[in-house]
Amino acid sequence: MVAQIILFREMMVAFYGNELCLGVMLSVWLFWVGVGSYLGNKIAGPKKYSISKLSLWYFLISVATLTTIILIRFSKQILGTAPAEIVGFFPMFLFTLGAMSFFCMLLGITFVLNSKSWAFDEKSVFLVNRVYLWESLGAGVGGLLVTFVLIPHISNFGIALFISSVNLILFALLRSRDKKKRIQGLIWSTVILIILIFSAFKLGNSLNSYSERKEWKSLPLIYSNDTKYGNISVTRQYEQVTFYENGLMLFSYPDVSTAEEAVHFALLVHPHPRKLLLIGGGLGGALSQALKYDSLTIDYVELDPQLIGAGEVFLPSEETKSLRSPRVDIHYMDGRLFVKEKAEQSNPECYDVIIVNLTDPYTVQLNRFFTLEFFQMARSVLKDEGIFSFRVSSAENYISPELGLYLSSFYRTLNSCFAEVKVLPGSNNIFLASKKAGVLFDDWQNLISRLKQRAIPTQFVNENFLPDRLSPTRVEYLRSAIMQSWGRINHDLKPICYFYNSILWSKQFESSEKPILLFLSHVHPGWLMGAIVLIFFLIFLFCRLYDAHVPNLALSVIFMVGFTSILAEIIVVLSFQVFYGYIYSMIGLIFTLFMLGLTSGALIIQRLAYKKKINFKRLGFIQLLQVLFVFMLIVLFRIFLSISLSNSKIMISLFSLIFVSGLLGGMLFTLANHIFLENRTALNAGTGYSVDLFGSSLSSILASAILIPLLGVPSTITLILLTNLICLGFLMIPKKSS
């Protein structure tokens, strides 16, 4: 669990903080652990596996922990991509599939070999479930340790060194078991010497620095730090300083044209701007540009204080002095939560202009600033003539169908809650929305007139560039391209802009996933849900009609458990990201609560097994509880959407859901696996575990890449409910009726 969390964090940095990489990595992780547990059956064979041989696998895990984190940092070299380049789904998937294979297979193999190595006077079924219980407990403890003790004080690479050292010690402990004292001394002295050499010569620090530099290829890395909210890195080439968060470029300095277009269009269009809310991007020059308006006071919201701290160190004083202006109030919190808290006040403070100065919605965390729900919150804290503005990447002279779909989604979402919407053309399209019709304009003459009237000095937003950028031909072409497309409205729990962005990037780089994504974007959600439900129905029907239907049904229940549990886990992870925006720091706690739930469920069934209270009827009852739990998920998310709950209530609800999901998953797996093993030989000790992991792997990739972006969270939960009802229905059929 400790290794999983730090490798997930490293993967988010390697792949620009995209939550999709979490689903991909979780899917690959579970797949290879499943393969490993299958191989563990073959390696162990029918006989008891020796403790001495078991030690070898802990040694290999120790080595693989370090090599895997280094391999992830070499992803740019292996894939041939540039730092901060957006990587398509298939390259990301193939790299993860290769990078995680050896380490994860070792974990699966070791699970099965542990089940067959220890001498207890029990049947195989009790041994396997006991190992599963202890594995879940270890994962829970490991998650708490890494979240609350290790991550706040140690780097990711330092934690990897710690885990490698622990596994080396386990290797020595098992290898020296029942050996002569001389052999024991040799083994222990070798292991301790290796650990001391790494510490004394600071080899870990050298490896960490070397692998970090390779992650940025030819860019000179001058700063890198893992914070609570993500990884902040800074590179410098000559006078150009560039800031990155989780591998995604935030801004470069100096970049006057980008800073000017971020703020001046919205501020010039507003008749009398007095109060500005700037969400993100203040350090790149936007704050300095906004301060050119003498009468303007600014609330600047930035999530990570350490980003500001890094800016104070690496940016010139003429830029950072804007942070200390008496007209600027800096708020260190999530920009969306800031707006939500303002909106919920009895007499909310209203703004003349709100500017979201963030990058495109490459991730769910960014997408939540471009949804209908956020636009409605922002509208409620605007004055009557207030303007809301953001910008997204576009093209100056040609709007492709895919780009038109992408831009249309933003336009339709804005148009659903604002009285007037204008889109200004350029390599970045500037979206302007107002509560009151007649406030906005998109002609260059009015902009230049107000620029001169207010005496704002600019280099790019001026009379030399605006006539070409905002020529009537370009404005009309962009408007018609957007109006001819029919992008869907973007929602918090149905992040369709995130999906459209994936299509856009796959087309731009001619990625192999482009035809699949384009096809799926035109498939009606109902057909997609129907196809998946039909496939599950046919699988359960086959298992029920097959001769050995009892063990096969047990295996299909295990598959369903893995499929459901991981879907619930991913939904909670993405929902947490939507509501709070800092999953980087909380992912360890979420995984920990899930594993503690698994432990509790496995412990309950283990006790029932010793009392010989294991049967199909009880399995059906727990499956009924699973169905009720999924139905409760639907109700809760309806409440989240319709009622404005406090942040603490939402957080407690999400944490409770993930624990209950683990509890039911642990109970169902242990019970179904017990029934399966009672009908099979000891040679199948790892089969149930493999099937559980394969089901989890499938649901992980489906949920993150297809189901949640296309169907949305509520419809995805409905799909889970339907598949679990099919499972329950087949369990309820009497044996004689099969």
CB 470 within 8 A of CB 447: yes
The residue written with tokens 């202890």 in the block is 134
At residue 538, the pLDDT reads: 87
Domain 255-492 CATH (choose: 1.10.3720.10, 3.40.640.10, 3.40.50.2020, 3.40.50.150)? 3.40.50.150
Global pTM value = 0.81
- For the four alpha carbons of 13, 372, 285 and 322, in that order, the dihedral sign comes to negative
CB 304 within 8 A of CB 272: no
For every residue of 473-519, DSSP letters joined together read HHHHHHHHHHHH--PPPPBTTB-HHHHHHHHHHHHHTT-TTHHHHHH
Q: What would the 3-class secondary structure string for 413-480 be?
A: HHHCCCCEEEEECCCEEEEEEECCCCCCCCCHHHHHHHHHHCCCCCCCCCCCCHHHHCCHHHHHHHHH
Interatomic CA distance for residues 326 and 289, integer angstroms: 15
Structure tokens at 625: 């509880």
Interatomic CA distance for residues 248 and 401, integer angstroms: 26
Structure tokens at 691: 């099937």
Residue type, 25: M
CB 407 within 8 A of CB 423: yes
The region, left, alpha or beta by phi > 0 then psi within -120 to 50, assigned to residue 441 is: beta
Q: How many helices (H) and strands (E) does the chain have?
A: 31, 11
At residue 737, the pLDDT reads: 43
Structure tokens at 247: 């591998």
Residue 159 has, within 13 A of its CA and on its CB side, a CA count of 26
At residue 315, the pLDDT reads: 92
Nearest to 147 by CA among 591, 565, 638, 675: 591
The residue written with tokens 């829970």 in the block is 140
Domain range annotation of the chain: 255-492
CB 69 within 8 A of CB 157: yes
Structure tokens at 188: 């222990």
Interatomic CA distance for residues 161 and 157, integer angstroms: 6
Query: What DSSP designation does 556 have?
Result: H
How far CA 153 is from CA of 146, 150, 157, 201, 357, in Å, comes to 10, 6, 12, 21, 31
pLDDT tens, residue by residue, 666-724? 899 888 888 887 766 555 556 777 788 888 888 887 887 778 777 888 888 899 999 99
At residue 171, the pLDDT reads: 92
Strand order in the sheet with 351-356: 328-332, 297-302, 275-279, 351-356, 382-393, 428-434, 420-424
Residue ranges for the chain with pLDDT beneath 50: 737-738
